[in-house]
């Protein structure tokens, strides 16, 4: 995905049994909209209609916004994240409290989700370094397998 306003958006009325995004590259997005936005689906997921959402082997380079995932850790969406690289992303007038990968934890989280490897290199919001950020259910936990932050010295 090259120079798009918002390469991937899953609105609140979406449903698929599974989504697999593997071996993707998102580059040069200059919009302040999230480059990947996954909303919490408003459809009824209580009937066992869960969603498997896989994002792996992805590189996010030279963008002005990050990835926003809602309902992280919920029974409805089972996220599988692994081998994600974020490099040289610069949010020009951004708030450093929101990282390049932002996960909004669900209130009804039962499982402790596991995240594979993440790498962050030279990412900033208005000059402040950013990487992973979370919000939502403060009692939620996450297992992170490998987390690498590379900051280039001046």
Greatest alpha-carbon span in the chain: 54
Its pTM stands at 0.87
145 phi and psi angles, rounded to 5 deg = -75, -45
The mean pLDDT value for 122-150 works out to 79
Q: Using 50, 70 and 90 to split pLDDT, how confident is the model at 151?
A: low
Q: Using 50, 70 and 90 to split pLDDT, how confident is the model at 46?
A: low
Of 4 and 138, the structure prediction assigns the larger pLDDT to: 4
Looking at the chain, the whole-number percentage of residues with pLDDT higher than 70 is: 82
- Residues 136/72, Cβ–Cβ less than 8 Å: yes
- Residue 154: what pLDDT? 44
Q: Compute how many other C-beta atoms are within 10 angstroms of the C-beta atom of residue 1.
A: 16
| Structure token digits, residue 132 | 């992973």
Report the C-alpha gap between 40 and 18 in whole angstroms. Answer: 14
The mean pLDDT value for 112-126 works out to 87
Q: What single string gives the DSSP state of each residue in 54-82?
A: EEEEEEEES-SS-EEEEEET-SSEEEEEE
The mean pLDDT value for 21-42 works out to 92
Query: If we measure between CA atoms, which residue out of 85, 97, 79, 89 comes closest to residue 40?
Result: 79
Task: Give tens-digit pLDDT for 59-106.
Answer: 999 999 999 999 887 777 889 999 999 999 999 877 788 899 998 887
Q: Using 50, 70 and 90 to split pLDDT, how confident is the model at 8?
A: very high
Q: Tell me the pLDDT of the chain averaged across its residues.
A: 84
- Residue 153: what pLDDT? 46
Q: Using 50, 70 and 90 to split pLDDT, how confident is the model at 25?
A: very high
Instruction: State the residue for tokens 């009804």.
Output: 108
């Amino acid at each position: 995905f090259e120079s798009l306003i918002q390469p991937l958006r899953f609105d609140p009325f979406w449903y698929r049994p599974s989504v697999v995004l593997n071996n993707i590259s998102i580059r040069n997005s200059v919009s302040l909209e999230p480059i990947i936005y996954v909303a919490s689906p408003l459809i009824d997921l209580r009937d066992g209609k869960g969603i498997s959402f896989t994002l792996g082997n992805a590189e996010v380079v030279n963008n002005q916004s990050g990835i926003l995932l809602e309902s992280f850790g919920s029974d409805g969406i089972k996220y599988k994240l692994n081998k994600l690289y974020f490099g040289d992303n610069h949010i020009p007038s951004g708030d450093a409290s929101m990282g390049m990968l932002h996960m909004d934890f669900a209130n009804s989280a039962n499982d402790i989700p596991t995240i594979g490897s993440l790498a962050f290199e030279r990412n900033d919001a208005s000059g402040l370094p950013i990487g992973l950020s979370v919000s939502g259910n403060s009692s939620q936990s996450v297992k992170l397998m490998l987390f690498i932050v590379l900051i280039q010295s001046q």
